[in-house]
Structure 1
Amino acid sequence: MNTDIFFFDVFKSLYLTETEKQAIRNCFHEKHYKKGELIILNGQDVDTLLYVVDGCLRTYFIDEKGKEHTIQFAVHDWWISDMVAFFSQTKAIYNIECLEDSIVFAIHREDIEKLCFQIPVFNKLYRSKMEGSIVGYQKRILANLSQNATERYERFIETYPNIEMSVKNYHLASYLGITTESLSRIRKEMSKRS
């Protein structure tokens, strides 16, 4: 796989000079992770954002009772980090795990700030990605408050059709806030309707 091709897919809509392209490329660091590897652990410092080139990752936290709660999945062309820790410059409250072998590009906070200052179109792209992320989180909160489990599952598979095949049932159930048994029941009911 030529990761440079995937990397510049993110920036293909931007009109960049060769100098700007090189400045951006110099700030991103390609990293390879194995399935099951933890990239960020609760309690760590977090000063990087990760752009997913290939693979599937999930953000989760573990409550006081030891139960895992999946917050986010990320696949190709998604950004992921412990956003709370990243933006507030505090310790991680989440863990990020690779659900498949994954390739990501990591960029440090200082490099983002430098690129935003030096390259206005990068600043615009970064801002629009963060705005999109905020909108996504707001929609998820509203869905969790106003939709039943079946509606949340239907919305998930409609919005993220390629992710379901990459995640285990208990990860998806955790993301939806239901048990694996409830997820199985919902799938069975939906297959009867088809």
Structure 2
Amino acid sequence: MCNTTQIVQKIFKNITLTNDELHLIANTFEKVYLKKDETLLKINTTVKNQYYVYSGCLRTFYIDKTGKEHTLQFAIEDWWISDYTAFFSSGKAIMNIESIQNATLLKLSRTQMEHLLENIPALETFFRKKMERAFSSFQKRILSNLALSAQERYVAFVNTYPNIEQSVKNYHIASYLGITTESLSRIRKTLAKG
């Protein structure tokens, strides 16, 4: 595996950073290793960190009052993940995050992030653009859930996460799409017949 400085160069590849800035960032991040099915974050816990996914796959999910799981997001390599509602409000988690593959993450606390933003102004733009894309992505997802058929949502999922299906359980995908596993099987059969 790459050292932390090499990972930082990958994360911030579109930003020109000095060696001192690279080392400051690399020394700020903490590596976290998760095994498959390990929990990163539980509902009602304090959220102090966000995570960069160096390798592996995680999912963010909510459990409703009936015990049904609703997958909100998958995070794959080069994505960021946290319960951002709690992270930015210094509140308690409203969602759970679990690893669905062995994963290597880089952890960054809110305090550490603020320190980096104060000392490396180029990171302010980087994180702002990341949040803009994430907000846009969540709006598109909401609209697709309202306006698209289950089959169209599945096709959009496959386009967004092209290499994830082999690693994710069917009920995770069905939960993300808001359908049953039986409906997911029917959609796949229909598309396979083409």
Residue type at the aligned position of 1:188: K
1:120 aligns with 2:121: yes
Kindly state the Cα deviation for residue 6 of structure 1 after the two structures are TM-superposed. Answer: 3.3
* CA distance in 1: counterparts of 2:175 and 2:164, whole angstroms: 14
Q: Is residue 31–residue 105 contact of structure 1 (8 Å, CA) maintained in 2?
A: yes
In structure 1, runs of 5+ residues without a counterpart are none
Encode CA deviations 1:124-179: one digit per residue, 9 max, x unaligned: 11111111111110110010011010000011111220122221000000000000
Aligned-residue sequence identity (percent) comes to 50
Residue 51 of structure 1 is matched in structure 2 by 52
Residue 83 of structure 1 is matched in structure 2 by 84
Residue 164 of structure 2 is matched in structure 1 by 163
Question: Larger deviation: 49-58 or 86-95?
Answer: 86-95
Residue 146 of structure 1 is matched in structure 2 by 147
C-alpha distance 60-169 of structure 1, shift in aligned 2 (>3 A): same
Pairwise CA RMSD: 1.0
- Structure 2 residue matching 1:161: 3-state secondary structure: coil
Kindly state the Cα deviation for residue 3 of structure 1 after the two structures are TM-superposed. Answer: 4.4
- Structure 1 residue matching 2:98: 3-state secondary structure: strand
- Structure 2 residue matching 1:165: 3-state secondary structure: coil
In structure 2, runs of 5+ residues without a counterpart are none
Residue 2 of structure 2 is matched in structure 1 by 2
Residue 101 of structure 2 is matched in structure 1 by 100
Question: Larger deviation: 89-98 or 11-20?
Answer: 11-20
Q: Is residue 8–residue 25 contact of structure 2 (8 Å, CA) maintained in 1?
A: no
Kindly state the Cα deviation for residue 184 of structure 1 after the two structures are TM-superposed. Answer: 0.1
- Structure 1 residue matching 2:166: 3-state secondary structure: helix
Residue 21 of structure 1 is matched in structure 2 by 22
* CA distance in 2: counterparts of 1:38 and 1:92, whole angstroms: 13
Q: Is residue 3–residue 53 contact of structure 1 (8 Å, CA) maintained in 2?
A: no
Q: Number of matched residues?
A: 193
Q: Which runs of 4+ in 1 moved over 6 A?
A: none
Residue 176 of structure 1 is matched in structure 2 by 177
* CA distance in 1: counterparts of 2:78 and 2:108, whole angstroms: 14
Residue type at the aligned position of 1:35: K
- Structure 2 residue matching 1:60: 3-state secondary structure: strand
Encode CA deviations 1:100-142: one digit per residue, 9 max, x unaligned: 1100000000111111121111111111111111111011001
Encode CA deviations 1:48-100: one digit per residue, 9 max, x unaligned: 01000000000001100001110000010000001111112210010100001
* CA distance in 1: counterparts of 2:143 and 2:172, whole angstroms: 20
* CA distance in 2: counterparts of 1:67 and 1:51, whole angstroms: 28
C-alpha distance 109-9 of structure 1, shift in aligned 2 (>3 A): same
TM-score (norm 2): 0.97
- Structure 2 residue matching 1:39: 3-state secondary structure: strand
Kindly state the Cα deviation for residue 12 of structure 1 after the two structures are TM-superposed. Answer: 2.1
